[in-house]
């Protein structure tokens, strides 16, 4: 697989160039701009000193973590109208922001946050495939920066983060298993899959389907192996970004 080359010159098992620009939103508790190939997403964390009403009513201890996802109108080749102009959140955005919330909640101990709500906003500036995986991967960096700030301000006494979390796409294009699909590969993929994993090598979520195609056990094993190797690289890149002041 490593000898297979693609339109952008990458090997089949190679991630697109990845860069984190931290503190991009100075009023947020933690933020980063993740640039992953030509996909760019701002991930920012804000903290509310209260919990949702349902937690109070059900007497649920600890805090809550939620996420919102939005593609800005100029993020795609043709203008994408804002959801507010349609009066509702579109189905894709709703599904993705729930995925981000589930993924990042799997990385934390909500009890240690205390009675507060952690809000993660992921705004896509430019889309070239993998916006949901970029949002999850960037969200964890932004969350880690926010947690460091909470600890420094003595608002929490223990680090609530249990494990790193990252996400990556894999797929089968023209019969080849590929890691980290860009847009042109994504639309041409016979099989498309997103993996979300933690630093312990455990799966948090798998989203995969054949696009008018089927796939075998062998191909699934190839995709999972590619995804796992990509996740390891992403986790290392996250830790490097978090360690930078």
Domain CATH code at residue 152: 3.30.230.70
What is the structure's pLDDT at 1?
A: 43
Question: Residue 13 domain-assigned?
Answer: no
- Residue 5 above 80 pLDDT? no
Domain of residue 115, residue span? 18-243
Question: Residue 125 domain-assigned?
Answer: yes
What is the structure's pLDDT at 148?
A: 96
What is the structure's pLDDT at 90?
A: 77
Question: Residue 10 domain-assigned?
Answer: no
Query: Using one digit for the tens of pLDDT, what is the confidence trace for 108-164?
Result: 999 999 999 999 999 999 999 999 999 999 999 999 999 999 999 999 999 999 999
Question: Residue 201 domain-assigned?
Answer: yes
Question: Residue 11 domain-assigned?
Answer: no
What is the structure's pLDDT at 211?
A: 77
Question: Residue 180 domain-assigned?
Answer: yes
Question: Residue 169 domain-assigned?
Answer: yes
**Number of domains observed in the structure of the chain:** 1
Q: What's this model's pTM, rounded to 2 decimal places?
A: 0.94
Query: Using one digit for the tens of pLDDT, what is the confidence trace for 65-98?
Result: 999 999 998 998 889 888 776 766 778 889 999 9
DSSP the chain: -TT-B-TTS-BTT-PPPEEEEE--STTSSEEEEEEETTEEEEEEEEEESS--HHHHHTT--S-EEEEEEEE-TTSSSS----HHHHTS--HHHHHHHHHHHHHHHTTB-GGGG-S-EEEEEEEEEE-SS-HHHHHHHHHHHHHHHHHHHHHHTTS-SS--B-S-EEEEEEEEETTEEEES--HHHHHH-SEEEEEEEETTS-EEEEEEEESS----HHHHHHHHHHHHHHHHHHHHHHHHHHH--
Question: Residue 168 domain-assigned?
Answer: yes
Query: Using one digit for the tens of pLDDT, what is the confidence trace for 17-41?
Result: 999 999 999 999 999 999 999 999 9
């Amino acid at each position: 697989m490593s000898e297979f080359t693609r339109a952008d010159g990458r090997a089949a098992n190679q991630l697109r160039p990845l860069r984190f620009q931290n503190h991009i939103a100075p009023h947020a508790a933690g933020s980063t701009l993740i640039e992953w190939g030509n996909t760019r997403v701002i991930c920012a964390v804000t903290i509310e000193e209260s919990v949702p009403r349902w937690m109070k009513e059900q007497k649920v201890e600890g805090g809550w973590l939620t996420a919102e996802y939005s593609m800005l109108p100029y993020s795609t080749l043709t203008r994408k109208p804002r959801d507010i102009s349609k009066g509702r959140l579109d189905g894709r955005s709703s599904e993705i922001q729930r995925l981000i919330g589930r993924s990042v909640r799997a990385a934390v101990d909500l009890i240690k946050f205390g009675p507060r709500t952690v809000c993660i906003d992921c705004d896509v500036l430019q889309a070239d495939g993998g916006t949901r995986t970029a949002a999850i991967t960037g969200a964890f960096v932004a969350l880690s920066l926010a947690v460091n700030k909470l600890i420094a301000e003595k608002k929490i006494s223990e680090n609530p983060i249990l494990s790193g979390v990252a996400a990556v796409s894999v797929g089968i294009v023209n019969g080849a298993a590929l890691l980290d699909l860009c847009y042109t590969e994504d639309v041409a993929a016979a099989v498309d899959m997103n993996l979300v994993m933690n630093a312990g090598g455990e799966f948090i979520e798998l989203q995969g389907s054949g696009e008018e195609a089927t796939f075998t056990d062998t191909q699934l094993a190839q995709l999972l192996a590619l995804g796992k190797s990509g996740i390891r690289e992403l986790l290392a890149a996250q830790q490097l970004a978090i360690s930078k002041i």
